[in-house]
């Protein structure tokens, strides 16, 4: 294992009886990076994290931390610490005592040195001056940072985070994800974060691994994951999408640029996997990647505005496609900028997008046409 890799999994499988929770997973987490494992409930992400931490033993395969194979190393001997969704702070202790708890259990250090390290860790998470506060005297976001400081004070090679922002309200979660990203950058500690919340994974991570049914679907930087999904599942799971199902591949304009017929309308997209003419495919188009021009124009798809939903910084506009052989509509996200088109229900519009803003994958649906976001 390369010294630049802090966590490595090689062909790791975990079975519980006949249930395969993690299925032949291999991945590498670079030193000093923020690495997220993203997947729906039951996808295997928590089991994966617990195996890295040592709370579960792999059925087969190898786990490396800091270049050392740790399959048989107990959790308390591994160079990693874990922050849980339930923070497990001690309410009878003050902030400082919570942070020094692990150091006291480890032993071999003077009280003065433990307090110095704890105060330094609290300063790194922005909690200096709150050392004597009881846990019930600080906010949820501050409690989150105490839990982080309690782990960071032990100077782990890797910090494992089990959806620690999941219990926070939306506004606090938004601010904490930025704080967490900045904290990781300041400390240089390798973070491995699991979540089902794609907005958190995309915003914070250097690299995201998408897992489904125990298998890794794609490992990529957030922008690549969003713009160039590698599988049907990633295209469907990550971000908002119009999903147009059971189109027919009619032509290729080059190796990736594919022409698809959906309900009698020719649409261009990117072949997300190996496709052939006459394949039945689903086409995924991001609502914010669709351009809307008022009136009937060339080089686009004619539609009529059927619904407008105001949503703060943007409006979600539903456009019925007039030239389709079956009822078909697209959701379009229009940012409220100075140049945004002024649309009303019933307006004729022309829709278009860059060919590589739509991704085509072999269809996994029953024969019908739908649009969803």
Mean model confidence pLDDT for the chain: 90
Of 9-23, 45-59, 295-309, 358-372, which gets the smallest average pLDDT?
Answer: 358-372
Please enumerate, as own/partner, the contacts of 96-100 that have beta carbons within 8 Å and a separation of 24 or more: 96/122, 96/131, 96/132, 98/135, 98/146, 98/150, 99/146, 99/149, 99/150, 99/153, 100/153
CB distance 218 to 230 below 8 Å: yes
Q: What is the pLDDT of residue 368?
A: 39
Quick: pLDDT tens for 118-167: 998 888 888 888 899 999 888 888 888 888 888 888 888 999 998 877 66
Can you point out the beta strands (E) in the chain?
Answer: 5-16, 19-30, 34-38, 60-65, 68-69, 80-83, 158-162, 190-195, 207-212, 215-220, 242-252, 257-262, 265-271, 280-285, 291-294, 301-311, 314-321, 329-335, 348-352, 358-362
Quick: pLDDT tens for 222-256: 999 999 999 999 999 998 899 999 999 999 988 89
Measuring CA to CA, which residue among 229, 226, 272, 233 is closest to residue 249? 272
- Both structure tokens of 169: 């309200």
CA distance linking residue 118 with residue 111, whole number of Å:
10
Give all domains of the chain, ordered by start, each with its CATH number: 5-232 (3.40.50.300), 240-362 (2.40.50.140)
């Amino acid at each position: 294992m390369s010294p630049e890799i802090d966590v490595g999994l090689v062909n790791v499988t975990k079975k519980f009886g006949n249930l395969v929770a993690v299925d032949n997973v291999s991945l590498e987490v670079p030193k000093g990076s923020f690495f997220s494992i993203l997947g729906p409930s039951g996808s295997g992400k928590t089991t994966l994290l617990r195996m890295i931490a040592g709370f579960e033993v792999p059925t087969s395969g190898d786990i490396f931390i800091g270049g050392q194979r740790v399959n048989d190393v107990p959790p308390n001997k591994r160079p990693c610490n874990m922050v849980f969704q339930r923070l497990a702070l001690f309410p009878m202790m003050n902030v400082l005592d919570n942070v020094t708890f692990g150091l006291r259990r480890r032993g071999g250090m003077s009280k003065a040195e433990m307090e110095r390290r704890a105060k330094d860790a609290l300063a790194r998470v922005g909690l200096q001056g709150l050392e004597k506060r009881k846990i019930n005297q600080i906010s949820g976001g501050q409690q989150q940072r105490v839990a982080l400081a309690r782990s960071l004070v032990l100077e782990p090679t890797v910090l494992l985070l089990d959806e620690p922002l999941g219990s926070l309200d939306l506004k606090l979660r938004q601010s904490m994800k930025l704080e967490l990203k900045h904290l990781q950058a300041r400390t240089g500690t390798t973070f491995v974060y699991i979540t089902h919340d794609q907005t958190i994974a995309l915003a914070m991570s250097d690299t995201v691994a998408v897992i489904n049914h125990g298998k890794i679907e794609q490992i990529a930087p957030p922008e690549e994951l969003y713009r160039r999904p590698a599988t049907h599942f990633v295209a469907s799971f990550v971000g908002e999408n119009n999903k147009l199902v059971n189109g027919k591949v009619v032509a290729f304009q080059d190796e990736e640029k594919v022409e698809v017929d959906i309900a009698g309308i020719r649409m261009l997209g990117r072949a997300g996997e190996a496709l052939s003419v006459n394949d039945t495919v689903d086409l995924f188009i991001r609502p914010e990647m669709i351009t809307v021009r008022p009136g009937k124009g060339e080089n686009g798809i004619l539609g009529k505005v059927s619904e407008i939903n105001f949503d703060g910084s943007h409006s979600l506009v539903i456009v019925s496609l007039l030239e389709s052989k079956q009822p078909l509509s697209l959701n379009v996200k229009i940012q409220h900028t100075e140049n945004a088109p002024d649309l009303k229900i019933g307006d004729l519009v022309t829709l278009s997008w860059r060919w590589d803003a739509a991704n085509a994958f072999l269809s996994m649906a029953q024969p019908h046409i739908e649009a969803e976001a």
